[in-house]
Amino acid sequence: LSFSASKLRDMDALSKSDPMLVVYTKMDGRLEEIGRTEVILNSLEPLWITKTMINYQFEIVQPLVFRIYDIDTKYHNTPVKMLNLAQQDFLGEAFCNLSEIVTKFNHSLSLNLRNGSGHALQGTMTVHAEETASSRMAVEMTFHCLNLDNKDTFSKSDPFLRVSRLSESAVAIPICKTEVINNNLNPVWRPITLTSQQYSSRDDPLLVECFDFDASGNHELMGALQTTIAQLENLYKSKAGANFYSKKGQKKLKGQLFLDTFQEKVQHTFLDYISSGFELNFMVAVDFTASNGDPRTPQSLHYIDPSGRLNSYQQAILGVSEVLQFYDKDRRFPAWGFGAKMPQGPVSHCFNLNAITNDCEVVGFEGIMSAYSSTLYSVSLSGPTLFGPVINKAAEIASHSAQYGNNRYFVLLIITDGVITDEQETKDSIVRASDLPLSILIVGVGNADFTQMRTLDADLGKRLQSSTGRVATRDIVQFVPMREVQGGQVTVVQSLLEELPGQFLEYMRTRGIKPQPPQHASAPPAYPPPPQL
């Protein structure tokens, strides 16, 4: 991030202010300082040189606070890190979210300065975001294994690899996986690509795990090892194998991991697309089946608490739409319900939540929240639970959009409490939709058995297959049961959204769709042209 300001207040009697800017991130209401600029003497129009680095994370809202101070003359020889801000004159502050900056066409956002109580002050500041070159780096690797332990009784194991980044608190965050290879203890997988956003740095720890695929989702660990990108490159160069270890690393196993290819390459990043005008268009579908319980009783998953405490449906709607709203220019979101009996009619498996205008779109996440609560009391919860109709409706919108341009990608959020009745129709709809600019996020609320949902999410390594035998072009579904992530270090929204940039990029890259270069207005020449001879 780089910074400039304009028309600052003059706090000095005999000269102009000497401004310095301080940047904070806001986490759980607490401010954490992440950088200070240098002090610029005698200037009400400072253009600071010192930049601040911040990690962009698509899956969370990243609030930023900027504060500008006039540094007293007697401190001009003090290193900026040592300055006590309470002893300086406050020139104003401004707020924004990082996603508001990166979605701007030129990555610049101008903000009006305010005082501590939010009233407007004289002056503005501009923040400009620039992606570092390293974040365009990616590594493509081809893995194979030898001598894996067999975990199956009547056949050989069906292995797949999962690569995770290890956080500072040693939590494994999955970032990539291979396909499943059936009945093989010496598998060779298709190449996988890891971006530098995924692996952070060449020396950050990664966990590579090999699992025996099980359709129930209970995959059996065949071995694991800890490594880094730098170590994997050395492994490739040495042509040697790395031994897997048992679960807690106590026992060295005979199975080994090898690299057949290791290639670093530059790729267009998610932000290259977003800042050149590509949009993520959000849609939501809410489960109104009777298994949710009578909305008037506190036991119901749809109960609206008079105290203002959000139910699981409201939490999921708010959490996802808060992140995605900045990537959708008009903030108009299609919102549907399914599984309810209409006031004058039969059960509907795809109806507009916005009953007043009967338009499928509502404005902003506030529009979704109010349409959801008013619909709850105007329909009767019924059943069965069918996903096919809402997925087909979303696919129809995505397909129609793709005929007129390729700069929109659609994200459908389905929130449900249970087991679907139309499993095969749903799979068929998802396989058809896998060719479209569409991703589907499914949140499971309540305590139902969600085993069936996991088969829709090809995280298991097996691509979905339709009833005609057609295999999905790519994995477009991410399923998260709310109960499994509540209280953990990663939120439901983070778990839901972490694969979305990758799914977006896979769609764009496989179709050869490139970001448009920014259109710069032709600037007047800095110097007059030489006279014509």
pLDDT at 407: 92
Residue at a domain's end among 131, 148, 178: 131
Residue 383 lies in a domain: yes
C-alpha 225/C-alpha 23 separation (Å) is 39
Mean pLDDT of all residues in 148-166: 91
User: pLDDT confidence of 146, banded at 50, 70, 90?
Assistant: very high
**Would the pLDDT of 529 be above 70?**
no
Mean pLDDT of all residues in 118-124: 91
Residue 231 lies in a domain: yes
pLDDT at 197: 80
Nearest to 502 by CA among 197, 71, 245: 197
Same domain (yes/no): 245, 258: yes
- Which residue range forms the structural domain that includes residue 29? 2-131
The model's pTM:
0.76
Mean pLDDT value across the chain: 90
Residue at a domain's end among 219, 240, 266: 266
C-alpha 410/C-alpha 510 separation (Å) is 17
- Asked whether the beta carbons of 34 and 42 are under 8 A apart, the reply is no
3 state SS of 337: strand
CATH number at 6 reads 2.60.40.150
Residue 299 lies in a domain: yes
Largest separation between any pair of C-alpha atoms in the chain: 89
Q: At what angle do helices 388-404 and 423-433 cross, to 10 degrees?
A: 10
pLDDT at 486: 67
Structural domain count, the chain: 3
Range of lowest pLDDT (150-159, 417-426, 454-463, 464-473): 454-463
Residue 533 lies in a domain: no
Residue 402 lies in a domain: yes
Same domain (yes/no): 206, 71: no
**Would the pLDDT of 65 be above 90?**
yes
| C-beta neighbour count of 258 within 10 angstroms | 16
Residue 519 lies in a domain: no
Same domain (yes/no): 230, 346: no
Residue 529 lies in a domain: no
Same domain (yes/no): 79, 160: no
Range of lowest pLDDT (19-33, 124-138, 307-321): 124-138
pLDDT at 521: 40
Same domain (yes/no): 9, 106: yes
pLDDT at 396: 96
Same domain (yes/no): 159, 255: yes
User: pLDDT confidence of 533, banded at 50, 70, 90?
Assistant: low
Same domain (yes/no): 339, 448: yes
pLDDT at 250: 76
pLDDT at 461: 60
Same domain (yes/no): 306, 432: yes
The amino acid that residue 63 corresponds to is P
Same domain (yes/no): 120, 146: no
Mean pLDDT of all residues in 342-356: 89
Same domain (yes/no): 186, 82: no
Which of the 8 DSSP states describes residue 118? S
Strand partners, 374: none
Mean pLDDT of all residues in 13-31: 91
pLDDT at 527: 47
**Strand pairing class (279-287; 332-338):** parallel
Same domain (yes/no): 423, 505: yes
Mean pLDDT of all residues in 363-386: 93
Residue 420 lies in a domain: yes
Residue at a domain's end among 240, 266, 292: 266
pLDDT tens for 452-490 read 887 787 755 678 889 999 989 988 999 988 887 666 666
CATH number at 387 reads 3.40.50.410
pLDDT tens for 171-215 read 888 888 899 999 999 999 999 999 888 888 899 999 999 999 987
Same domain (yes/no): 504, 359: yes
- Asked whether the beta carbons of 418 and 453 are under 8 A apart, the reply is no
Mean pLDDT of all residues in 244-254: 84
